[in-house]
Chains A and B, each alone.
Chain A
Amino acid sequence: MRRLSDAIYYNLIREQRYLQFLRGLGVSLQLTVYAAAIGILIGLFLALAKLGKISWLQKLSTLYVDIIRGTPMVVQLVLIYYAILGTSSLPKIMVASIAFGLNSGAYVSELIRAGIMALDKGQMEAARSLGFSYGKSMRYIVIPQAVKNILPALGNEFIVLLKETAIAGYIALDDLTRAGNIVRGRTFDAYTPFILVALIYLYITTILTGLLNKLERRMRASD
């Protein structure tokens, strides 16, 4: 008991170290939300490009997905940070958001593409026969159904994304994992800060899973 209360005191209370974790959590969450938003936009664009009829866009989209999937995220992050965006004056968190978003977009695009391809082609035909353009058919008829169908996979992607942001420390961004690392450096206690970090991640992903299930149930209203 004594050791536990000591551990908590040294790792959380002293020098207001809990603030370190809270700020880290804030950064991780921000990063995830921005990256997810960027990822959805890029994913949607890539999916539509790949399904469309313009051949150079198709090839570009395929190449993009291949490159992103074929290289480690941490390498992409560092490259984007130092080589491409490090020279600009963008805040570090935005650079990281873009890097994670670019990465997530590749995976999201494959999900969306699968979701669209799984739809009966009669849906598109019915929309076109009413006079909707290709774009409007996609927007009102096809994409809403595709998103509904891939929602579980999409939610999973965002949970993965949250955990992936744990490597943001590589570009010296003070996210939750790095907060654990910093505290460890001060207290020389390897376990407590990282068990804490793990519990926080677990707590957040549990909440996300719950929200996702709720959303899924609501969207199933039409089944």
Chain B
Amino acid sequence: MINVIDLHKYFGPLEVLKGVTTKIHRQEVVCVIGASGSGKSTFLRCLNLLEEPTKGEIIIDGISLLEQKKELDKLRQKVGMVFQQFNLFPHMTVMENITLAPIKLKGMSFESAQEKAAKLLHKVGLSDKNDEYPSRLSGGQKQRVAIARALAMDPEIMLFDEPTSSLDPEMVGEVLGVMKQLAYEGMTMVVVTHEMGFAKEVGDRILFMDEGIIFEEGSPTELFENPKKGRTQAFLSKVL
């Protein structure tokens, strides 16, 4: 579904990604782990071109992202993204946050967009928050609204950029629960995370990134129980 070939990214003189190659298959849940500064967030942000790669190729459904800049907005509609800082639109209610994109970009009618949003809010367990503004929600609630907002565009793949890293510990569970449910429903997901438990339980494949490359990858059992490389072992011994 997504084919990433030899991705490089420079920030000025600093090379953050030094040649990342991987494939993400339909319905696969890929968890990306690694220390901060290892390039995992940059890698994820390249997948919908929030960061423009310096070199390399990203092919989504046979369309090369870097050659089809005009189609970029259309392509991004298929790629949902959830941010560490939620990035809800603070000037809109929960309902407006979720319905804005389907109405403006897909030409969905106001009523059907609201109906759909209500279903999504039910799914993330926030049916009673339609008319609240984001400032009145807790972090966990905000992130669940953010997930609903991304889902409202019917994406084919969801990208999660450390979705629980800025949450209070007691709210991590509710967000991971929603993500788990999504995974079981067959959503294709790429999740940058520090939640090793989640990666182990839900991930189909784990990518361990270090110094701008995929240092080691494998199934959760392979990678967590039996890491082959020294640096992977060292990282895991610190976080597990």
Contact = CB atoms under 8 A, between A and B. Distances in A.
B73 interface: yes
A130 B77 contact: yes
A123 interface: yes
A122 B105 contact: no
Given A130-B76, A130-B150, A131-B153, A140 B104 contact: yes
Interface in A121-141: 122-123, 125-133, 136, 140-141
Contacts, number: 69
Contacts of A127: 89
A89 B39 CA distance: 63
Contacts of B149: 130
Interface residues of A, number: 21
A125 B74 contact: no
A123 B89 contact: yes
A15 interface: no
Nearest to A222: B133
Contact of A128 (B50, B80, B150): B50
Interface in B58-88: 73-74, 76-77, 79-81, 83, 85, 87-88
Contact of B83 (A122, A131, A144, A221): A122
A173 B206 CA distance: 75
B77 A222 contact: no
A140 to B, nearest CB: 6
The SS class assigned to the B binding surface is mixed
A127 B81 CA distance: 10
A142 to B, nearest CB: 10
Contacts of A141: 89
Nearest to B134: A222
B90 A222 contact: yes
A131 B73 contact: yes
Nearest to A223: B135
B8 to A, nearest CB: 21
Interface string B73-116: 11011011101010111111100000011001100000000000
Contacts of B133: 221-223
Interface string A140-152: 1100110010000
Contacts of A123: 87, 89
B188 interface: no
A14 to B, nearest CB: 54
Given A136-B104, A140-B100, A221-B133, A129 B89 contact: no
Contact of A222 (B74, B105, B135): B135
Given A130-B77, A130-B149, A222-B93, 17 more contacts: A120-B87, A122-B83, A125-B87, A126-B87, A126-B89, A129-B81, A130-B76, A130-B80, A131-B73, A131-B105, A131-B153, A132-B73, A148-B91, A221-B133, A222-B90, A222-B91, A222-B92
Interface of A: 120, 122-123, 125-133, 136, 140-141, 144-145, 148, 221-223
The 5 A-B residue pairs whose C-beta atoms are closest, nearest first, are A131-B77, A126-B87, A129-B81, A122-B87, A222-B133
23 contacts: A122-B87, A123-B89, A125-B50, A125-B83, A126-B88, A128-B73, A129-B48, A129-B80, A130-B80, A130-B101, A130-B153, A131-B73, A131-B105, A131-B153, A132-B104, A133-B73, A136-B105, A140-B104, A141-B89, A144-B91, A145-B90, A222-B90, A222-B91
Interface of B: 48, 50, 73-74, 76-77, 79-81, 83, 85, 87-93, 100-101, 104-105, 133-135, 146, 149-150, 153
